[in-house]
Structure 1
């Protein structure tokens, strides 16, 4: 029990980032967030405002998560409590952003269900459905990471 508490209260660096909880979630967040980015970018952007928000969120979170991973892997955080707080705050912001983007994307996809309203090919509708699924999976990953980061922050 003492080893688990000690591991949870210290921030990992180097290759330990890829084997500690919650930091092991960086890779799935990058993969699924990148899929959302690719899928939304590959469709026709008919209502530009909501889909522009989805693109902003997916690109912003992808870049920030990658930078966060690099900072932790290189040991740039120096194991301070400020970094644990920043990790929790970043993932909380990512959850709020991704949840709002997922709702917008799902709403737009539901509007596209009646393809007679919009002259888009069926393949765009199917790609949008996949983007919605991956967007909610990414939201769930960021939420789990946020909860585990909060636990680590409180134990720091």
Structure 2
């Protein structure tokens, strides 16, 4: 019997443990219309105002503004990173990462540290009442509290997503 006349059977199996991954990075144009998308954009805008209002002054005269500036810039950069991840849908290429837990931890820590920074910012403004940067520092304190509210709302949304993920369908 010829080798070419035999039929060959090839069987394949798939594992139920492998998660589907995409090979291309997409663009989620509707993300910015969702509550998490709106909150991330607000966090970026108000966070930029916090650190720009401080960085544009002689903040080094009052050392507490260094802490506020660190928190504002640190979380601003990470929030921009998360916005890019969500808009590009790059997170779908990494299904092994528990994104709801990551979002909960990130937004929870941002809420806590921004609250401390906002209080420090507001308390430090009173030290500079006679300083020519007073208005910028007062505005940065106001926006620091606004960003804290945005991150706390994001924390709540992440908590509900995390909670529903753990409870199953």
Point out where structure 1 has 5 or more consecutive residues left out of the alignment. Answer: 1-12
Q: Of residues 104, 109, 121 in structure 2, which corresponds to 1:93?
A: 109
- What is the aligned partner in structure 2 of residue 5 from structure 1? none
Q: How far did 1:96 drift?
A: 1.0
Give the TM-score taking structure 1 as reference length: 0.81
Normalising by structure 2, we get a TM-score of 0.75
In structure 2, how many angstroms separate the alpha carbons of the residues matched to 1:30 and 1:22?
12
Q: Within the alignment, does 1:153 sit opposite 2:162 as a pair?
A: yes
- Conservation of the 8 A alpha-carbon contact between 1:23 and 1:145: no
Q: Number of matched residues?
A: 136
1:83 aligns with 2:92: no
Which consecutive segments of 4 or more residues in structure 1 shift more than 6 A? none
Partner of 1:143: 152
Higher relative contact order (CA 8 A, sep 6+): 1
Kindly indicate which of the two structures has a greater share of residues assigned to helix: 1
Instruction: Tell me which structure has the larger Cα radius of gyration.
Output: 2
Structure-to-structure mapping, 1:3-152, within 5 angstroms: 14-45=28-59, 46-48=61-63, 50-78=64-92, 80=95, 82-113=98-129, 115=130, 120-121=131-132, 124-152=133-161
What is the alpha-carbon distance in structure 1 between the residues aligned to residue 57 and residue 38 of structure 2?
A: 31
> Displacement of 1:39 after TM fit?
0.2
Over the aligned positions, Cα root-mean-square deviation in angstroms equals: 1.6
Instruction: Please report how far the alpha carbon of residue 15 of structure 1 lies from its aligned counterpart in structure 2 after TM superposition.
Output: 1.5
